[in-house]
Chain A
Amino acid sequence: MNDMIEIRWHGRGGQGAKTASLLLADAAFNTGKYIQGFPEYGPERMGAPITAYNRISSSPIRIHSNIYEPDYVVVVDDTLLDSVDVTAGLKPEGAIVINTVKEDEEIKKSLKGYSGKVYKIDARKISMETLGKYFPNTPMLAAIIKVSKIMDENDFLNDMQGSFKHKFAKKPEVIDGNMKALEMALKEVKEVK
């Protein structure tokens, strides 16, 4: 069965796009899937545009190349919309989800006539309200789960609770905030019309 889903992440160095792609791979792995999660390494530095990828499938994944025709694209930083062709190769039956507060019309204009579904989320607001700091990757992770429907939302939340417990074993005080960020993000993803 070939049900492979391919996701491309666009972010800036330091925003956690790579970590988000690895967390997504983890979550999908825990639902029994075959997964790939890998960043495209360039000259790494804070603030530089970076790309990360996910493949998720019910059968073993053998391909080892970057993703050129993704089903979904996640944009962690909307300042990239001016400099990176984020919809390049994106399938029209797929979708793009962007962290932004821009008006719908303005978003549409910057996507070069992409005909598929477009979603937006204010990850900064969610992150500041729940974590008190700007970590856009946690809300964006929930947003792509919501948009791509690759797993049940409750299964996802339960799984992430476990992951955070492990990941933040030495600072358990941030677990609740991260869980709240996920829950809020699942509710606040909006389709751009």
Chain B
Amino acid sequence: MSIRERLSGNEAAATAMKQINPDVVAAFPITPSTEIPQYFSTFVDNGQVDTEFVAVESEHSAMSACIGAEAAGSRAMTATSANGLSLMWEMIYIASSLRLPIVMSLVNRAVSGPLNIHNDHSDAMGVRDSGWIQLFSETNQEAYDNLIMAHRIAENKDVLLPLMVCQDGFITSHSIENIELIEDEKVKEFVGKYKPEHYLLNKKEPIAIGPLDVQAYLFEHKYQQAEAMRRAKQVILDVAKDFEKMTGRKYGLFEEYRLDDAEIAIVCMNSTAGTTKDVVDALREKGIKAGLLKIRVFRPFPAEEVAKALSHLKAVAVLDKADSLNGVGGALFEDVVSGMYLNKNTVPTVSYVYGIGGRDTTSKEIESVFNDLMEDRKKEKIENPYRYIGLRKE
């Protein structure tokens, strides 16, 4: 029997970490993820976990400590947001290239500047090519479930990549909502013991980790990382199957909501998907065949599967909560359309940038996107495919 609770997204993430009981947590507080290390340090103080909590002096050190701990052969976790992740940037690449399956709870927030502490996805998008697996979470429940699944994915020997679980800052991190928790013992059994194959504290196998990689080797090592990322897709699905057996909650690479017979659809990530589901239901009652594709796994990007799932539609809108400032379109939009092109899917697709710096996204605005798509589906060529939701024009 699961445990009926009510927790904020940050409490949910901290609770998952408590149940995982990692060997090391190293973190530096930053809004809106501050509560995660705050709650976790209380668990350490109360003796509810066996974790060594390293209160570092910066996020660069937090990631460095996680790298050291993981390389030594222990399981390490951290949490951060926005500029905290920016400060980790150098070590983010080192963690993934050393193939260290560190798990991070990333509470998404706008990267400065100017200074803004509110939600968007610019932090996660900034590290989308760093070799980390990225899972996105609509609710506190998904943030919790994704963390429980995280180590099984990251530590799989076909993968060995670090993994970040994203959730929307404030919108889910600071909202108290219902959640079904899994019993401690079941989590312990599901996550299992960490048994690294190669690690620094193994007396029988003295090794060095991360020395110089010259012209003769780096290319091949990057190829191995890319291969591991490609293999991660199947491992994510396998772990989700086991998770479903334990909880009854089903997870895939993405969630399709009333998409089967839809004519128009929105593709988005995190909490906006919930608002979109309500709008889809309301439009269906009016006879409009609207649907949703919610990305859960953004890295590795399930390009072929997404293209296939969208192939029967008449128009698609991809919503990005970060503007790539590249003159072309948001990161999710680019990935979706390139996947569609390679899979010969020519459904008209438009890009919407929305919710920047915590700008609230309402049901009415989501409905207006579907209304736009109803017009777009009639057109031969779509004008202005780069659009904005909730942007003041004056």
- The answer to whether B177 touches A66, judged by C-beta atoms less than 8 angstroms apart, is no
Say yes or no for B172: interface residue by CB 8 A criterion.
Answer: yes
Nearest chain B CB to A45 CB, angstrom units: 14
Say yes or no for B171: interface residue by CB 8 A criterion.
Answer: yes
Say yes or no for A22: interface residue by CB 8 A criterion.
Answer: yes
Chain A residues positioned under 8 Å from B361 (CB to CB) = 65
- The answer to whether A35 touches B363, judged by C-beta atoms less than 8 angstroms apart, is no
Cα distance A37–B6 when bound, in Å? 10
- The answer to whether B176 touches A36, judged by C-beta atoms less than 8 angstroms apart, is yes
Cα distance A35–B277 when bound, in Å? 17
- The verdict on A26 contacting B174 (CB below 8 Å), with A65-B275, A68-B362 known, is no
B6, B117, B178, B275: the one contacting A64 at CB < 8 Å is B275
Say yes or no for B227: interface residue by CB 8 A criterion.
Answer: no
Nearest chain B CB to A63 CB, angstrom units: 5
- The answer to whether A34 touches B178, judged by C-beta atoms less than 8 angstroms apart, is yes
Cα distance A39–B8 when bound, in Å? 12
Q: Mark B212-244, 1 if CB is under 8 A from A, else 0.
A: 000000000000000000000000000000000
- The residue among A22, A41, A62 with the most chain B CB atoms within 10 A of its own CB is A62
Say yes or no for A114: interface residue by CB 8 A criterion.
Answer: no
Say yes or no for A61: interface residue by CB 8 A criterion.
Answer: yes
Q: State the interface size on chain B (CB cutoff 8 A).
A: 22
- The answer to whether A64 touches B118, judged by C-beta atoms less than 8 angstroms apart, is no
Chain A residues positioned under 8 Å from B277 (CB to CB) = 62
- The answer to whether A22 touches B171, judged by C-beta atoms less than 8 angstroms apart, is no
Nearest chain A CB to B31 CB, angstrom units: 9
- The answer to whether B176 touches A64, judged by C-beta atoms less than 8 angstroms apart, is no
Cα distance A22–B118 when bound, in Å? 20
Cα distance A41–B278 when bound, in Å? 24
Say yes or no for B175: interface residue by CB 8 A criterion.
Answer: yes
- The answer to whether A25 touches B176, judged by C-beta atoms less than 8 angstroms apart, is yes
Q: Mark A41-76, 1 if CB is under 8 A from B, else 0.
A: 100000000000000000011111110100000000
- The answer to whether B274 touches A41, judged by C-beta atoms less than 8 angstroms apart, is no
A38, A41, A66, A68: the one contacting B176 at CB < 8 Å is A38
Say yes or no for A29: interface residue by CB 8 A criterion.
Answer: yes
Cα distance A34–B360 when bound, in Å? 22
- The verdict on A63 contacting B174 (CB below 8 Å), with A29-B6, A41-B118 known, is no
B177, B178, B362: the one contacting A65 at CB < 8 Å is B362
- The answer to whether B274 touches A25, judged by C-beta atoms less than 8 angstroms apart, is no
Cα distance A12–B363 when bound, in Å? 28
- The answer to whether A36 touches B360, judged by C-beta atoms less than 8 angstroms apart, is no
- The verdict on A35 contacting B176 (CB below 8 Å), with A29-B6, A41-B117 known, is yes
Which B-chain residue is minimally distant from A64 (CB atoms)?
B271
Nearest chain A CB to B140 CB, angstrom units: 10
Which A-chain residue is minimally distant from B276 (CB atoms)?
A62
Nearest chain B CB to A42 CB, angstrom units: 9
B171, B278, B360, B362: the one contacting A62 at CB < 8 Å is B278
Cα distance A38–B360 when bound, in Å? 13
- The answer to whether B6 touches A62, judged by C-beta atoms less than 8 angstroms apart, is no
Cα distance A36–B277 when bound, in Å? 17
Which B-chain residue is minimally distant from A28 (CB atoms)?
B6
Q: Mark B158-192, 1 if CB is under 8 A from A, else 0.
A: 00000000001011101111100000000000000
Can you give 19 contacting A-B residue pairs, CB < 8 Å? Answer: A25-B6, A25-B176, A29-B6, A35-B178, A36-B175, A36-B177, A37-B176, A39-B174, A41-B117, A41-B170, A61-B178, A62-B274, A62-B278, A64-B171, A64-B172, A64-B175, A65-B275, A65-B362, A68-B362
Give the interface of B toward A (CB within 8 A): 6, 117-118, 168, 170-172, 174-178, 271-272, 274-275, 277-278, 360-363
Give the interface of A toward B (CB within 8 A): 22, 25-26, 29, 34-39, 41, 60-66, 68
**Given A37-B176, A65-B275, 9 other A-B contacts at CB below 8 A?**
A26-B6, A29-B178, A38-B171, A41-B118, A41-B174, A60-B178, A65-B360, A65-B362, A68-B362
